[in-house]
């Protein structure tokens, strides 16, 4: 037995391999949690004093020391030490330097396990609030541009083929709806993240008479988490928020892709100023939509962060494992990428200039009002839609053979296929009349777009 104890003692006294320091230290990224760590420590110290676990004098010293540390970090005077591994030990070490032995009482009835879970929940909560505000600004930019172009006709696509005319405003409002759902997912994630692990200690709770409801309330949480094992081992709140971020990034990427396409001279629907494009190193005539391309690319980093954390967590038994240290760096990088992506998209929406004439010209390509012709046959002659579809297909084939758009195909050519067609049909074959007719709920008619845009402006003005 004595030999085993001696061996254990020798192991404890052996210096760690430098590579262990490299892989074990998290201060390079969890230093970003300093505000949350100080706030949680202040709340914990106040609770310990109220419960009589530490003296009021020690609590005052701790609070004063934490305020000093916060000021030092914010001003850049704080010296982070990699040898101390993480934000918690860096703060505690400096607190000891400032106030002496009283600093050692702060860690009563808590563990770094519940500390980091609390800190990161606070960080995620603040990040969600920041993302929500940014998405609201993005929506506002889209809505204002949509209102400006409520009647601007452009082609609507399926399979990237011209399908039916729509309005540019209607197209932009589709992304407003997507962003609304994104904000809803973040709000839902915030609700589930807003429960406090502090006081769960290492994994089993604590024998000290702590008041976990007090610390939860002080930190703005809904309530304490109800199971100590779950409190320190759960990272659902990160996964769920990253999932919301990934979906949001995919939505931004889809729009970014459209901007890249629309900016091409081959399409020419919009132009971006030099504020959001860059030049070529060799071709002086080119302006590249780099901002949109990079938004599209950053989506991979955001989706990758979600996948990485899912893989980290998938095989972990309860409770805390060091693997969980990998929950922060990728998430922080992902939310940084998301933040700049939202800002870039908002800027591009405000900056873009629509080429109204080119959009109008393209809207009539590909016989985009063919469905209007089929609908006219159904309305005016009670023709079954499938029959009307067949008749219209033959008329489109005739127009294509003569290389003319539908509205320029002679009436006699149409009547040769369907004798009941009259000159009134031409009223539905213009792209303007096509979009004006789409008045169903959610349709592209300009009056619908104006109504929807004004509704959104009122919603956003209320901070919703």
Instruction: Identify the three-state secondary structure at position 240.
Output: helix
> Which residue in 16, 91, 111 sits closest to 320, CA to CA?
111
Contact 431, 371 (CB under 8 A): no
The label of the residue with tokens 């132009």 reads 271
> Which residue in 78, 91, 77, 79 sits closest to 33, CA to CA?
91
Write the DSSP string, 122-180. HHHHHHHHHHHHHHHHHHHHHHHHHHHTTT-EEEEEETTEEEEEEEHHHHHHHHHHHHH
Query: What is the β-pairing status of strands 223-224 and 195-196?
Result: parallel
Contacts of 227 (CB under 8 A, 6+ apart): none
Contacts of 311 (CB under 8 A, 6+ apart): none
Q: Rounded to the nearest 10 degrees, how much is the dihedral formed by the CA atoms of 312, 187, 303, 297?
A: -150
Kindly state the DSSP code that residue 416 receives in the 8-state scheme: T
The label of the residue with tokens 């053979």 reads 401
The label of the residue with tokens 């020690």 reads 58
Q: Rounded to the nearest 10 degrees, how much is the dihedral formed by the CA atoms of 445, 451, 455, 456?
A: 40
The label of the residue with tokens 């904000």 reads 183
Contact 166, 76 (CB under 8 A): no
CA distance 275 to 344: 10
Catalytic residues, which ones?
159, 280
CA distance 172 to 296: 18
CA distance 158 to 162: 7
**Contacts of range 393-401, beta carbons closer than 8 Å, 24 or more positions apart:** 395/370, 396/367, 396/370, 399/367, 400/367
């Amino acid at each position: 037995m004595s030999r085993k104890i001696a061996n254990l003692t020798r192991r404890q006294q052996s210096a760690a391999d430098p590579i262990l320091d490299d892989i074990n230290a998290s201060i390079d990224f969890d230093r970003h949690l300093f505000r949350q760590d100080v706030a949680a420590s202040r709340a914990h110290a106040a609770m310990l004093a109220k419960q009589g676990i530490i003296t009021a004098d020690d609590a005052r010293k701790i609070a004063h020391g934490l305020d000093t540390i916060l000021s030092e970090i914010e001003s850049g005077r704080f010296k982070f030490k990699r040898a101390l591994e993480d934000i918690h030990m860096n703060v505690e070490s400096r607190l000891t330097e400032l106030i002496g032995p009283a600093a050692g009482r702060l860690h009563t009835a808590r563990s770094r396990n519940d500390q980091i879970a609390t800190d990161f929940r606070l960080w995620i909560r603040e990040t969600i609030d920041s993302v929500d505000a940014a998405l609201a600004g993005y929506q506002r930019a889209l809505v204002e541009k949509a209102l400006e172009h409520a009647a601007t006709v452009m082609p609507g696509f399926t399979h990237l083929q011209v399908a039916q005319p729509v309005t540019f405003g209607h197209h932009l409002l589709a992304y407003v709806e997507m962003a609304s759902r994104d904000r809803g997912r973040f709000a839902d994630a915030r609700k589930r993240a807003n429960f406090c692990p502090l006081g769960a200690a290492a994994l089993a709770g604590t024998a000290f008479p702590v008041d976990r409801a007090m610390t939860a309330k002080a930190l703005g949480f809904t309530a304490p988490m109800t199971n100590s094992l779950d409190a320190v081992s759960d990272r659902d709140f990160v996964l769920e928020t990253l999932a919301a971020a990934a979906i949001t990034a995919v939505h931004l990427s889809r729009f970014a892709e459209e901007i890249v396409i629309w900016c091409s001279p081959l399409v020419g629907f919009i132009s971006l100023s030099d504020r959001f494009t860059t030049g070529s190193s060799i071709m002086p005539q080119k302006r590249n939509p780099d901002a949109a391309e990079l938004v599209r690319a950053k989506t991979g980093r955001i989706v990758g962060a979600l996948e990485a954390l899912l893989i980290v967590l998938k095989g972990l038994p309860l409770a805390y494992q060091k693997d969980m240290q990998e929950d922060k760096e990728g998430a922080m990088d992902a939310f940084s990428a998301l933040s700049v992506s939202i800002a870039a998209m908002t800027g591009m929406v405000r900056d873009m200039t629509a080429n109204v004439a080119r959009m109008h010209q393209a809207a009539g390509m590909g016989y985009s009002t063919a469905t209007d012709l089929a609908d006219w046959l159904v309305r005016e002659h009670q023709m079954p839609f499938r029959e009307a579809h067949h008749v219209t297909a033959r008329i489109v084939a005739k127009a294509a053979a003569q290389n003319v758009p539908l509205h320029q195909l002679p009436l006699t050519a149409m009547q040769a296929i369907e004798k009941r067609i009259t000159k009134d049909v031409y009223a539905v074959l213009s792209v303007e009349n096509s979009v004006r007719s789409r008045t169903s709920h959610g349709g592209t008619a300009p009056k619908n777009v104006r109504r929807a845009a004004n509704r959104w402006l009122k919603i956003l003005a209320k901070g919703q």
